Amino acid sequence: MAQNSTYHHGDLRAACLRAARELLEEDGSAGLSLRAVARRAGVSATAPYRHYADREALVSAVAAEGYRELAEHLATAHPVPSTPDDLAAVAVAYVRFALEHPALFRAMFAEPCDPTSEERVAATAAISEYVRGIVRDAFPGVEDTDALATTVWALVHGLAFLHLDGKLDTSTPEVVADRVRASVFALFAVAPALREAIAAR
């Protein structure tokens, strides 16, 4: 029984989210069905409709929660990163999050998402703002902070997906962390040269 005192007139909305998360963590793949969530929450198949308009709404809520957790996870890795090492630590945390919650990460990013969910859009914006903030702090001299932030995000995001999809060795956490750090350092060392590089183009 996943049942607890919080529902049968309680917080089924939250219980659904929790059930969905459990399913994602366990299954690792698969696509989160409303019925499976209801089953897991110990409730009839149609009960979730009291709280979510449809399947999409549930998935978006789960994804949004994932974004919030990711942000938290990154902040935990380093509250106010300001050196290459700090940023590398955050990057490692990003990739680790993806590898530890593969199904959730896919739900957040890989799924063809509906762009109308404001909850989801807001959560995404928060992440990207967070990355921008780090880059701004770490590179006060750089003019186009947005461009550099995008580059950093893309690099880390790409590393996450390539590892997730088995294109890069993930046999130990160390091997992954080393690779992520090496990639970030490559980018970092060049940051001051960014403007010239773009200008010279």
Partner DNA sequence: TGTACATCAGTGAACGCGCGTTCACTGATGTAC
Which residues contact DNA (rule: CB under 7 A)? 7-10, 12, 33-36, 39, 43-47, 49-51, 54-56
Q: Counting contacts by CB under 8 A, is residue 28 touching a copy of itself?
A: yes
What contacts 24+ positions apart, CB below 8 Å, involve 74-83?
74/130, 75/130, 80/137, 81/134, 81/137, 81/138, 82/137, 82/138, 83/138
* Interaction partner, residue 46 (DNA, a copy of itself, none; CB < 5-8 Å by kind): DNA
Query: Which entry of DNA, a copy of itself, none binds 198, CB below 5 to 8 A by partner kind?
Result: a copy of itself
Locate 124 and state its tokens. 């995404």
Q: What's the min distance (Å) between Cβ of 86 and a copy of itself?
A: 12
Phi, then psi, of 172 in degrees rounded to 5: -135, 150
Give the tokens for residue 87: 């940023």
Backbone Cα Rg of the chain: 19
Residue ranges in contact with a copy of itself by CB under 8 A: 28-29, 84-85, 88, 102, 106, 109-110, 112-113, 115, 124, 128, 144, 147-148, 150-151, 153-162, 165-168, 179, 181-183, 185-191, 193-194, 196-198, 201
